[in-house]
Amino acid sequence: MWVARVVVNRPLETPFDYLVSDALRERLKPGMRVRVPFGNGHQRLVGYCVEAGPFSELIGPERFKNGQPPKLKPIEAVLDREPLLSPRMLELTHWIAERYLCGWGQVLDSVVPAGVKKMSGTREILFLAPAAGVCETLSDRKLGAKQKAVLEVLCAAKQPMRIDELAEAADCGVGVISSLREKNLVEAIRQRTEAFDIDFAPSARQPDLQLNDEQRTALDAILAEIRAARHRTILLRGVTGSGKTEVYIQAIREVVSYGRQAIVLVPEISLTPQTIRRFRSRFESVAVLHSHLSDSERHWHWQRIASGQVQVIVGARSAVFAPTPHL
């Protein structure tokens, strides 16, 4: 028996334990959202899975009454395909909840942008795939020519197909496909696909600027810590226009050369088009996170950052929660 620990957006200190069905066990991972019945009224809430494991490991003997294990409610659904939060982010948000005396679920709900939770900029599309064992026994089945053609196309595709693609490839109508679904020879799979993309105007690449002696001294001090893989806080002090940003950029270039990611936090008022162009002219992939992004834009950036496609994230304070796997 598998159990998940779930926190909800309520001012509560402790997680709640729920049973995980065999059907959901393979899909569920910490950092994913789930729908659960909550409280005596079984109110349906969206929560975050923060831990999952065998019943014997998560449920201690102190939870048993008269030798009987506690009765746990089941998780109703898993809402995400991939975790929205990494183990490190779960650890950070747990620390925030304890530090600032609020619910862990409240922190998690604040960290994940609304556009990500709504999956803005995506749409759910119905795909079709052959049912289990159909391809292996296709030659023995008594089917009409059109129905057999549909299954042959699906089996040859090796991946699910949209209904319109399948009908065109098999040269048939939707009715033929519907009859195969009624016979349980074809199964439907709902998948979310991107319906939104951002096409940035290409920025002309610019070389690094020549550093003066003071900038070089500062950069060398930062690079020494980076190359030694030591964690250290370094304060770079300089008046406006003294070239601090160029030192940051060249230090970040060192980090990026290792295949890592970097986050640059700046005041919202400093996120000017000139600042953004400056970073995009020096790095191949830059995400900019600020309050004026639409939900679809924020979700698009979040996905690219989480997949490791973005080298540098520039943004205001909330950018510290960007899902960087290689920070």
Q: Are 128 and 150 in contact (CB under 8 A)?
A: no
Q: What is the per-residue pLDDT for 190?
A: 76
Does the structure show a pLDDT above 60 at 267?
A: yes
Residue 219 confidence class, pLDDT cut points 50, 70, 90:
very high
Residues in the chain: 327
Interval 229-243: pLDDT, tens: 999 999 999 998 899
Does the structure show a pLDDT above 80 at 197?
A: no
CB-count burial class (<10 Å; 0-12, 13-18, 19+) for 84: buried
Q: Which of 49-53, 88-92, 183-187, 201-205 has the lowest mean pLDDT?
A: 201-205
If one compares 197 and 52, the residue with the highest pLDDT of the two is: 52
Q: Which of 58, 186, 46, 195 is nearest to 127 (CA)?
A: 186
Q: Which of 126, 165, 131 is nearest to 151 (CA)?
A: 131
Q: Which of 122-131, 138-147, 196-205 has the lowest mean pLDDT?
A: 196-205
Tokens 């950070």 identify what position? 92
Residue 181 to residue 189: CA distance in whole angstroms:
12
Does the structure show a pLDDT above 60 at 111?
A: yes
Q: What is the per-residue pLDDT for 86?
A: 93
Q: What is the per-residue pLDDT for 127?
A: 86
Write the DSSP assignment of 264-322 as a string of letters.
EE--GGG--HHHHHHHHTTSS-EEEE-TT--HHHHHHHHHHHHTT--SEEEESGGGGG-
Q: What is the per-residue pLDDT for 193?
A: 66
Q: What is the per-residue pLDDT for 194?
A: 63
Residue 234 to residue 222: CA distance in whole angstroms:
7
Mean pLDDT of 309-327: 92
Strands, sheet with 286-289, edge to edge from the N-terminal-most edge strand = 262-265, 312-315, 286-289
Which CATH number applies to 122-194? 1.10.10
- Residue 232's contacts (CB-CB under 8 Å, 6 or more residues apart) are 225
| 284, two tokens | 């191949």
Domain ranges of the chain: 2-112, 122-194, 213-321
Interval 136-180: pLDDT, tens: 999 889 899 999 999 999 999 988 888 888 988 999 988 999 999
Residue 109 to residue 112: CA distance in whole angstroms:
6
Please give the CATH superfamily to which domain 2-112 belongs. PriA, 3(prime) DNA-binding domain (3.40.1440.60)
Residue 95 to residue 87: CA distance in whole angstroms:
12
Fold annotation for 213-321 = Rossmann fold (3.40.50)
Q: What is the per-residue pLDDT for 259?
A: 94
Does the structure show a pLDDT above 60 at 196?
A: no
